[in-house]
Structure formats: C-alpha cells, structure tokens
Structure 1
C-alpha cells in the first residue's frame, strides 16, 4: 500500500493552513513527511495516520539551515521520491519595526525566506533530476502591499510571491510545476503568535483554513501558477495593483496598528 501512494512533504503542518494541507494530502493518496518547530507536530502526525497516510513527523527549526537539513535527511532516509512539496512554514510579527526585537525580526526572515528557499532548492533539484514533481508555496496577499506595523512579514511574503512566479517560469520546460497560494487573513494561530490580537485585522472575521488549503491543493494538482483564496482577497489584490504604495501603507496601518482593534 505504501509504494502505491505518492509522497508529500508539508512544512508548518502542526496547525492552521499547513495542518489542513496535510489532511487533504492524506485523503488524496499521499503519504507524508510533516515538519514543524513544535512538539504538536507529533500529535498531528497521529491524526494523519488515522486518515490512511504513512506519516513521518520531524520536529525541527526551519528557520535554520541545520533544521532544514534535518528535514531533508529524514526524507532521504525513506528512499522515496518527493512528489509534492508544500512549503507552508511561516511566522509573522506585529508592531512597529523599530519597536520589534531584532531576534524576532530575523526569525521571520529566516523562516519565511531563507529556510523556505533552501528547502525548495534541495527538493526542487531532486524533482528536476527526475523531471517530475509539484511545489506549492504559501505566499500571501500581504505581499501586494506595504505592511505598516507588519513591515518585515509583508516584505517576506512579497519575496515569496515573486520568487514563486520566477521559479515557475524557470521550470516551464520541465514536468515540475510551481504554484503559489496567496491567502488573506485566516483563522489560525498566526495573529496570536504575531502579537496582533489587539489590532483590527486580528479581531476581524477570517477565512477558514480548510477552505484556503483546499484552494491551494487544487491549484497545485492542476498546475496553476497562483490562487488567491476568497473573493474579498481577490478584490484586494486587484486594487493593490492600481493604488499608490503610500495609500496602501496607510490602509494597512489602520488594520495592523497596535490598539486599532479596540474601537472596532
């Protein structure tokens, strides 16, 4: 049974969108290697096994090259090719840039950018050598706008959105597809971890992570270049393409400034 199934690697799979992506993979013929930087990844893995997927859990810090190497080594020990890489791990950080602890700033960059592209570089090379595979990168509609009071996070997602389109173009003459999922605010642990619960966006109604994940999985499986989940988010990205950056930054300030949620 194991050999008949494909293999997917899902990062940030302990909660939120990553957890839902792994669940969908498990119920659609994929065995799993799932990774996160917290012990709850082991509990999540048990749930994925209950859905019929052989699941290897790796608790590792994907903000470090060593942590990514640990995940990659676990994949290689299985002796099976990776059919799908769902690079979803990411962290956020609220408040003004100059008020942030720089260790936390660097962690956003190291997790969202460095660790993500390093993992894609390693597994993507294996896929290219086989001329087969699917890559889904979790970007964000945040990458379309200057993120006042979330500046580094939005910039990191702008990097990922842009990187995904570039890599897709570089791979267009191969059988390796690259897709990018661009969610809007989603009902996950993100805003609590980013210390943004007192903001307007932190208190507002958010998208269902299961629905967001399904949109991303479907885009990956059909080889689509990108998917923005939800009509409101689609409208927001359309407007972001025509509005001046200064206005976008001011709009983001109203959503993300500390204390902005108290009057809403």
Structure 2
C-alpha cells in the first residue's frame, strides 16, 4: 500500500468511494470506522490505530509488499477481522485478512463539498452518509473484496454528467467518480501489491541450497564397498537377500588383547 504526496497543481477532482463499517474482532468487540475502496489495491489494509483499538492478534506477513516504483512498504504483520455495514446495507458481515500499516491514507475527501442538489442520491441507503466530509480512513478494501460485495446497479445524475455515480453494494450504496470542475483538490493514489515474483525467486534459491547432490564424494574404501554390494547382491528362492561382506586388504592389528579375552571367556564359563 503506498500513498502519494498531494500534488502541487490543482487537477479535476475524483471522489474515492468510502464506507462506514463496524470493525470487530472474534470476540464481538466493535469499532465504527471509515473504509475506502480502491480498485488498485490487491490486499486489504488497516491502520495501526484500528489494530490497537481492537487489540487484534498480529501475525508475521510472509508476502513482501511493494508500492509503485518498488517503493518500500512498512506493513510487516497481518490480522483477521470482521467488517459489517454501519450506515446501511444488507450484508451480515465479511471476514477479511488485512496488512497493518501505520497510516492507511490521509483524510478523505480532502475538503468538504456541497451535495444539497444531488437529487440522484435521494432515498438511497448510502454506505457512508457523510461521504462529502473529510474524515480519517482506517481500512482500505481490496479490489477482490469490492468485487465480492458489489452489485450491478448504477445510478447516474442525468442532469449533470460530471457528478459521481452511485453504485449498489451489500454494504449500502457507494458514491464515486469525477466531481464537477468547480471541485478541485489534490489527488491521492493508493496501491497494495503482493510481490509474488520475489516469493518465487526466494523459493528457487531455497531449493538450490537444499538440493541433494547427485554424486557424493566417497573414499576409496567406501567406493569399494558399494562396488561389492552392487556386484554380489542377489535374491534367494525364499525371498531373502544375500551379499558378500567387504573385507579390508590390510586390516589393522587388534593389539595384545589375547590374555584379556581368555580371562573374560573363563569368567563367563563359571
């Protein structure tokens, strides 16, 4: 997940979809926070603040994370949590796995704007009733998650094609898209990518390190033992195997142990 710095030059503004959700742990403890939907994010992310509020158990993130231009990302752990609609929607909740970041995004939208004449919103249970007012973002929802909750209903303002559209989700209707040219503010970009190629490279290096050598280095005596084994092993009619015993050409002498061996033998015969 990477957040760009605000641009210095004003550009035509775009509204990123936001949702009010109830984030909860496995014990049912809930916190109402604002989430944002970003079609460029491959993984859900949450803020360190939310992780601490719910005291969510963290586990080490084994997937390296990078932003655009191979920028480093400070997410090293992930958590599991449940999110449910807070302002509207039919969903009973969805479990997500999310990386933990110090900050997910700045306040969205950057400035407040007037929606009093946006008649195409009338009567719709919005996922975020105050989407036009700046507020902190504690959750970034991945493109995979949004595809799971999004429907196929879209409402447009036919009186002004420059206004954002409204799209149905099971968490309520979300508002996103281009804003009128009178609405200008700096843009923010977000991206979360799991670097699968790096994982594959690391696995390949691990396999090379752990690979068993095809030929091991044997001493002359070990090589002779293998040769005797391969040349003399055979299977008898009763199913048992037999093999010649390797004998050293010049075995070392046993030393002066005859007297001690005789004494031990006599002792055992008593």
TM over 0.5: no
Structure with the higher fraction of residues in helix conformation: 1
From the CA coordinates, give the structure whose radius of gyration is larger. Answer: 2
Structure with the higher fraction of residues in strand conformation: 2
TM-score of the superposed pair, with normalisation by structure 2: 0.21
TM-score of the superposed pair, with normalisation by structure 1: 0.21
Query: Which structure has the higher relative contact order (CA within 8 Å, separation 6+)?
Result: 2
